[in-house]
Each structure stands twice: as structure tokens, then as C-alpha cells.
Amino acid sequence: MQIAVVGSGYVGLVAAACFAEIGHQVISIDNDAQKISRLQQGEVPIHEEHLPELLERHRGKALKFSTDLVGAVRQSAAIFIAVGTPSTEEGDADLSYVESVSRAVASAINDYKIVVEKSTVPVFTSNWIRKVMLLDGAPSELFDVASNPEFLREGTAVVDFLYPDRIVTGADTERCSSALCEIYRPLTDGSYYSRTDRAAVPAPAGWSAPARLIATSTKSAEIIKHASNAFLATKISFINAVANICEAVGADVKEVCQGIGSDSRIGSRFLNPGVGYGGSCFPKDLKAFRHVARENGYDFNLLSAVIAINDEQRTRFLRKVRTALWTLKGKKLAALGLAFKGGTDDIRESPAIEIAKSLLKEGCEIRAYDPAAIERSREVLPSKGISYHDSAYSAAEGADALLILTDWPEFANLDLERLRSTLGYPIVVDGRNLYDPTTMASHGFLYYSIGRADVQPAHRNGSPEKMATATSGKAAK
């Protein structure tokens, strides 16, 4: 099928490349002419595993890049809208980009099309797209509007697209629903996985083919996306709240996570305490979902609590840093991680960025390292008081403490002896619980983590000495 994907950001570019990979002819559309030119020349604007290989494989063949939206619409049977939907000051989603694209699509329609929401949008957006297109002259019999929410995690988006646990299609006519089913047929009937010419993208552990397709109404599909993200964010805030209780009473949150995560009704995923969630999805989607609920007469207080707990987690981490160092002004701190999570260069709503800003305001000197997000971080962080480094060890050189802010795999596999000798003082404040406290103590570190007792360097007999829990608890309150 001929497909147009409007928007070449994290969602749009991955979707375009993966649609080409499963056998469609795809045009990726963006109004940023410079960005399209770079894509045509082979540049990859985002950090995403396997994406460079797919773009190189299909660029100029099954995948083309263009700024000509009207031309792409007229050539295509399906138009996927994957533009940004940022939060407004009131917390609802800014749908002006979606509206603009809808008007342009309406003016270009020359035969039957399906117009598919791929962006994360609130319920009723499909209704508004249809109204806008009708007002702009699109004949009602020549288009249907559908919802096809994405469930892609940044850093593993290509794998998530090609090996999904479910595909949700929301349509209100049989004709539209059938077209969406046809688009995803290579994944749902398993034919893509039997091809010998497919890209070498490994399946995730535990995945089994074929993908499950869930066909719903457009409104249900729109709510599924917001509800999914809200639930996952709730799990994160819940375990962070539990971690805070563990710190107060002297329990170990890792042991607690094992106990509750082994319950098949709960599961262990997203039960990872830390400095809170971030990124382009969870923060804005929770606010948008709460706004939709209020607009329709329901006060979704649970989401307000989830957001408040997440915001508080950053403050608690800063207090933990202060507990470790006493005073902050003039302290030299190595900060590992700037992206909101490992595997991506996305710094939107990144807890690491907000923590770095707060520490700079306190008069700290920040020595930062991130495998992918340094250039993007330069655009939002103050130039004064921060330096950027090409390795964790370079950032740690002579630092008063090391802060782990992002869960990059390489941060969990540092040479601890080398790190110990590189730091000015052997203090590690781990905001992602990447290390075992006993191991850190045995290597001579004062180690602070989330939801676990702080430890001092091991005694000569090799056993770590737990620091005064009462002191830690007071500092965290």
C-alpha cells in the first residue's frame, strides 16, 4: 500500500521506516526543508537503535522524503498524522499541528483515503479531524478518520514496532477497519517474520508471533493510548512512593519489588524506583488525560497524585545529594546521564536535566556525560558552571561525588576500582539503583540509592557499615 506519514519526529520517522520494512511504499513528510534534506542525504536526526540501518536500507526505494504534503496525499491510500501534540499551559494537548495537517489533507483529496491519527491525542480528536476536513471541502464519501495509537518506547522503538505485543486500530466503518488490517497484515499473519530479506532486527525476549490486532472504535483507541501511559506512570509513582516508605523504616525496596513483582497480576515491569519518569509521553499524556476527564465532568484525582509524587521524587533526590555532601555551593559533581532514559537522546521532561539545573542554581560545578544526549542538552542547560565529557571516567575526574541520573547500560557496568581512584571523594548517589549497596561498600564507596539504606565503605572484615537510618530519613523528609 502507498502510505504517507506526516511528521518525521521520534514516532513518525520510526513508523515510516518500519512501514517500508514490512513491504509498503512510504513517503515521509515534514515542513522542515532542512531536515528533509538531511534525511535524503542519509543523516539520522534521532538516536534510536536499528533506525539507521532501516533508513539506509529503504531510503530512495520503498521510503522517500518530501516537503510536498499535497503531492504525497494524492499518491497515498493512507495518511498517518504523526506530528507533535505538546501540552498547553492549561494541561490539555495542543492540537494545532494536527488541525493544520487535517486542513491540508482535505484540500488534496482526490479519491478515497483513510486519515489515521498516529500522534497521541485526546478522545474526540477523530471527530474534530472529520469536521475540519468537511468544512475545508473534503467530500464525506472520500475519506474516513481512524486512530492507530503507537506503543513505542524510545530506545527500542523499532523493535517495538516490528515485534508488537498488540496493534490497536480504531475505526468506525468496515471499509476503514479493513484497510488498517491490510496495512498491518505482514505482522498479524506472520508473513513478515518468514521473509528471508527482512532486516536483522532481533525479537525481544519472550516475544511470540504473530502480533495481536485489537479492532475498536476510534474513541476507544484514543482512550487506550492515554489510559496505557497513565497506568504505566502510576506504577512508577507507586513504587517510588513505596521506596520512600522503605527508606523511612529501613526496608529494602529491591526486595519489596521482587515480592510484589512476582505476582502475575502485577508484574515486575515499571517497578523500578528512581528519580521519576520523563520524556515526551508520560508527563504530557497524564495532564491531557486529566484535562479530558475534567472537561467531561470527572475529577481524576489519582492522576494528580501520580504527577505530584513524580515531581517530589526529584526534590527528594536533591535532598539526598545534600545529605551526602552537607553543603552544595562550590562542589564539583559528576552527572552521568542527561536523557530522560537510557537508549535515547531525548531530553524532553528529563529528570536529569531538571536536577542539573537545580544543582547549578545551588552553585555546583557539573561535569556531565551522556552517550547520546550531550548536544541536545547544550541547547537547554546554562553554559556557565557545566562541562561536557566523553566518558564517565572523564566526568568523574576529581569530582566530590558521582550522580547516576539515567539508566544507560554502560553506567551499570563501570570499573569500580578505576572509578574509586578517579573521583576526588568516593561518594556515589545512584538515582537509578544500578548497583548493589554491599558491592559498592566493598569497593570503598559511600553509596546512596533509592529506597535502600545508605552504606559506608566496608570494614576491614569486608562487611559494609550501614549509615544511620534516622539521619537519612530526616534528610529525605
pLDDT tens-digit map of 274-320 = 999 999 889 999 999 999 999 999 999 999 999 999 999 999 999 99
Q: CA 50 to CA 200: how far, in whole Å?
A: 9
CB 365 within 8 A of CB 331: yes
Whether pTM exceeds 0.85: yes
Q: What are phi and psi of 386, to 5 degrees?
A: -130, 140
Q: CA 473 to CA 456: how far, in whole Å?
A: 16
**Cβ-Cβ contacts under 8 Å for 94 (sequence gap 6 or more):** 84, 85, 86, 87, 88
CB 98 within 8 A of CB 121: yes
CB 148 within 8 A of CB 118: yes
List the domain boundaries for the chain.
Answer: 2-216, 217-477
Are the folds of 2-216 and 217-477 the same? Answer: yes
Q: CA 310 to CA 319: how far, in whole Å?
A: 15
Would you please indicate which residues are annotated as catalytic (active-site) residues? Answer: 281
CB 233 within 8 A of CB 305: no
Burial 77-92 (b: 16+ CB within 10 A, else e): bbbbbbbbbebeeebb
CATH assignment of 2-216, given 3.40.50.720, 3.40.30.10, 3.40.50.620, 3.30.70.330?
A: 3.40.50.720
In CATH, the number for domain 217-477 is 3.40.50.720
Q: What is the tens place of the pLDDT at every residue in 198-220?
A: 998 999 988 887 889 999 999 99
Q: Where are the beta strands (DSSP E) in 40-112?
A: 63-66, 78-81
How many C-beta atoms lie closer than 10 Å to residue 416's C-beta?
17
| Backbone φ/ψ region at 430: left (φ over 0), alpha (ψ -120 to 50), beta | beta
DSSP per-residue codes, 314-327: HHHHHHHHHHHHS-
Residue-level pLDDT at 90: 80
Cell numbers found for residue 24: 509498503
Work out the end-to-end distance of the chain between its first and last CA atoms, rounded to an integer number of angstroms: 58
How many C-beta atoms lie closer than 10 Å to residue 260's C-beta?
15
Query: Alpha-carbon torsion 88, 92, 97, 103, what sign?
Result: negative
C-alpha separations of 215 from 15, 19, 401, 429 in Å: 19, 19, 52, 46
Those residues of the chain that have pLDDT short of 50 are 460, 468-477
Q: CA 459 to CA 447: how far, in whole Å?
A: 14
CB 65 within 8 A of CB 36: yes
Q: CA 172 to CA 179: how far, in whole Å?
A: 12
| Half-sphere CA count of 145, side-chain side, radius 13 A | 26
Closest CA to 126 of 173, 189, 92, 182: 173
Cell numbers found for residue 151: 506503543
